[in-house]
Amino acid sequence: MTEVASRKQDRIARRQVDKFDARRTELAVATLHTLAELGYARTSLREIAQNSEFSHGVLHYYFADKRDLLTEAVRQYEVVCVTRYDEVVATSTTAEQLRAEFVAMFFDTLGQDAPLHRLWYDLRNQSLFDESFRADVLEIDGHREDMVWRVVSRYAELVGGTPSASPGTTYLTLDGIFQRALLHHFTGNAGTVAQLRTELPAVIDLLVTKAE
């Protein structure tokens, strides 16, 4: 009887933990756009609550502080982000198709989800000052690096070549272009964004060494 009762208590405890985690996820996703609009430095849990349908007490119960909420919100967004290009990789049958569809999606998401991308860079910048963010940022950054590597390595395969740089350098190259385009998007410099879009296909070619 003691063993049966113990297993039952364990199941109840696990269900409670699962419900708690599910609620955290729900709240993080629901407040994601508020965080993206306000940014990390200008917000508190109270201000986030004032701009959402949830009370400060509810947010404070599920999250220790705004660091905790911000990290969980970005993590949930990245769950979707890091598979964004996978369909393009899976369905492209030529290098030209893959490159064209990647470039289109690269800049489409920049425009459509600009505040959310800004939130990611906000978190990454904060990690330079706040050690509590670093493990999560490095994990998310690693997933983003893997995402980019899947695109470039498949492109290299389709052209019969090999990537010309490491996964890290490849990611930094494309991420740098994305971050610069995002800055000019918010600044209203459509010409600079258009120029970067025009130049991106050539950059992708530079990331691949074609067979002789």
Residues 72-82: pLDDT tens digits?
888 888 877 87
Same domain, 126 and 42: no
Q: How many domains does the chain have?
A: 2
Instruction: Single out the residue in 12, 37, 65 at which a domain terminates.
Output: 65
Residue 70 forms part of a structural domain: no
Q: What is the CA radius of gyration of the chain?
A: 21
Dig out the tokens for 55 from the structure: 């009370």
Least confident piece of the model among 48-57, 137-146, 147-156: 48-57
pLDDT of residue 24 exceeding 90: no
Residue 24 forms part of a structural domain: yes
DSSP label at residue 165: S
pLDDT of residue 1 exceeding 60: no
Residues 161-204: pLDDT tens digits?
999 999 999 999 999 999 999 999 999 999 999 999 999 999 99
What residues make up the domain containing 81?
75-209
Same domain, 44 and 90: no
Same domain, 167 and 109: yes
pLDDT average, residue stretch 151-162:
97
Same domain, 39 and 144: no
